[in-house]
Amino acid sequence: MPISETMACQTRQLEASDAAIAAAAACLRDGGLVAFPTETVYGLGADATCTGAIARLYAAKGRPSFNPLIAHVAGVTEARLIGRFDATAERLAAAFWPGPLTLVLPKTADCRVADLATAGLDTVAIRVPAHPITQALLRAVGRPVVAPSANISGHVSPTTAAHVHADLNGRIDLIVDGGPVEVGVESTILGCFGTPVLLRPGGVPSEAIEAVLGTPLARRAPEPAAGDDQPLAPGMLASHYAPRAAVRLEATSVRPDEALLAFGPDALPGAEHATAVMNLSARGDLTEAATHLFGYLRALDAKAARTIAVMPIPHDGLGEAINDRLRRAAAPKD
Ligand code: AMP
Ligand code: MG
C-alpha cells in the first residue's frame, strides 16, 4: 500500500502568491518541509542550517543520508558565505547564476550548512536558482535551503505539483504550486575545487561551460557497478529517476507489449502496435524533450506498460543530461 494511504494527514497545497511564499518561508524557518517549483524540477526544501529538518527531509524522501544535498541561496553574495570561490568558480557563477548550474566548492570556515546536508564532506554543493518563486522564497527565508527533487528517492523527478502530491502527500508540510517547470532536468553539477570536473550533466549544457572555461571539461569517474551500496562519488547512484516499468534504450523497433517514448519525426517499425506512444519532441528539439522527459515517463508508467522502449536521443546540448537520466532509469534497480 502506498505510504500516503496510511497517513491520516493531507499535505497542504497553495497556489503560488505572496501569501503562499510567506507561509512557505515561515514553515521552512520553523524546520518544516516545503515543496516548491524551481526552473529545473520541483524541489523539496528544508532549512540547510537545521539538522532536525534535514533528517526529516531524508526520511520523507527515503533518501540515503550518504547522498549529499544542494544548498540553494538567493545570490552569489549569500553563496560566498558558505563556499570558497576561486577565480574559475567566480567566472562560472557570473556566467550561469541565477540558473541550473550547481558548483561544489570547499566549505568556508564558518559555513552554516549542517554536516548532515553535506554527508560530512568538506565541500558544499551550491546553486542560485532563477525561478522567480524560488528567488522570492529564498530571500524571505534568509538562510540556505537544501532542496533535492520532491519525489521519493529513486523515483522519476517531479515537474508539476501533481507529481509532488502523488509521491509525498502526507509526508511533507506544504506544496507551493507554481505550474509546470521550464527546464525539466536537474541542474548541471560541477566540482570546482581544483580542475573543474563534471559530476552530473544537467540544465546547462557542457558545451556552454566549456565555452566559458575555454577548455574541454573533465568528466567524473565511471559509474559504480549496479548493486553497489556505496557510490564512488556521493549520490552518483546507478539506478535513479526510475519508473516502475523496465526501460529499454536505443530502441530501433517496438516489440509486442511495449510502450514507446519517441523522439523526432521518424516512425519506428512496430510503433503501430505500441501499448502507448509519447513523443518527447516530434520536431527533434532537445530543449523541448528535456521539458517533457520526466512527465512522459510518469504518464507511460501510469498506463501500466511493462517495458518502455526509448528511441535514440542525440548526445549534444541537453541530450547529455537526457541520456544520463534515461541510463539511470534503465539501470537494474537492486
Ligand atoms: P539531487 O539533490 O538529487 O539533485 O542531487 C544532488 C547531488 O549533488 C547529489 O546526488 C550529489 O551527487 C551531488 N552533491 C551534493 N553535494 C556534493 C558534494 N559536496 N560533493 C559531491 N557531490 C555532491
Ligand atoms: Mg532527485
Whether 225 has a pLDDT exceeding 70, the answer reads no
Q: How far is the CA of 68 from the centre of ligand 1 (A)?
A: 5
What confidence tier does 221 reach under pLDDT thresholds 50, 70, 90? low
| Helix/strand/coil for 206 | helix
- Provide the whole-model pTM: 0.91
d(CA 159, CA 180): 6
- At 272 the pLDDT is 93
- Supply 190's cell numbers: 560541477
Q: Sign (positive/negative) of CA torsion 123, 239, 325, 292?
A: negative
What is the atom index within ligand 1 of the atom nearest the CA of 124? 19
Residue with cell 509519447: 278
288 and 161 within one domain? no
C-beta of 69 in contact with ligand 1 (< 6 A) = yes
Which range among 119-123, 158-162, 221-225 shows the weakest confidence by mean pLDDT?
221-225
Q: Are residues 159 and 60 in the same domain?
A: yes
* Same-domain pairing of 87 and 16: yes
What is the distance of C-alpha 208 from the center of its chain? 20
User: Which residues does 211 contact at the CB level (< 8 Å), separation at least 6?
Assistant: none
pLDDT digits (tens, 9 = 90+) for 8-53: 589 999 999 999 999 999 999 999 999 999 999 999 999 999 999 9
Residues recorded for the chain: 334
Task: Confirm or reject: Cβ of 321 under 6 Å from ligand 1.
Answer: no
Instruction: Tell me which residue range forms the domain holding 111.
Output: 3-219
Pocket test for ligand 1, best of 42, 199, 223, 239 (most atoms within 8 A of CB): 199
Ligand 1 within 6 A of CB of 324: no
Whose grid coordinates read 534515461? 326
The structural domain count of the chain equals 2
Give the pLDDT of residue 113: 98
DSSP for 301-327, written as a single string: HHTT-SEEEE-----STTHHHHHHHHH
Asked, for residue 212, whether it belongs to a domain, the answer is yes
Q: For 9-70, what is the HEC assignment?
A: CCCEEEECCHHHHHHHHHHHHCCCCEEECCCCCCEEEEECCCHHHHHHHHHHHCCCCCCCCE
Q: Which class for 87: exposed (0-12), middle (13-18), buried (19 or more C-beta within 10 A)? A: exposed
Question: Residue 175 domain-assigned?
Answer: yes
**In this structure, what CATH number is given to the domain that contains residue 309?**
3.40.50.11030
Q: Are 236 and 199 in contact (CB under 8 A)?
A: yes
Cα 153 to Cα 239: distance, rounded to the nearest angstrom? 10
Instruction: For residue 149, give the ligand nearest its CA.
Output: 2
User: Using one digit for the tens of pLDDT, what is the confidence trace for 160-192?
Assistant: 999 999 999 999 999 999 999 999 999 999 999
Query: Same domain for 193 and 64?
Result: yes
Residue at 239 is within a domain: no
Q: How far apart are alpha carbons 228 and 239 in whole angstroms?
A: 10
Cβ of 260 less than 6 Å from ligand 1: no
How far apart are the C-alpha atoms of 314 and 292, rounded to whole Å?
16
Beta bridge partners of residue 261, listed in sequence order: 278, 310
Minimal CA–CA distance to 154: which of 260, 26, 63? 63
pLDDT above 70 covers a percentage of the chain that reads: 92
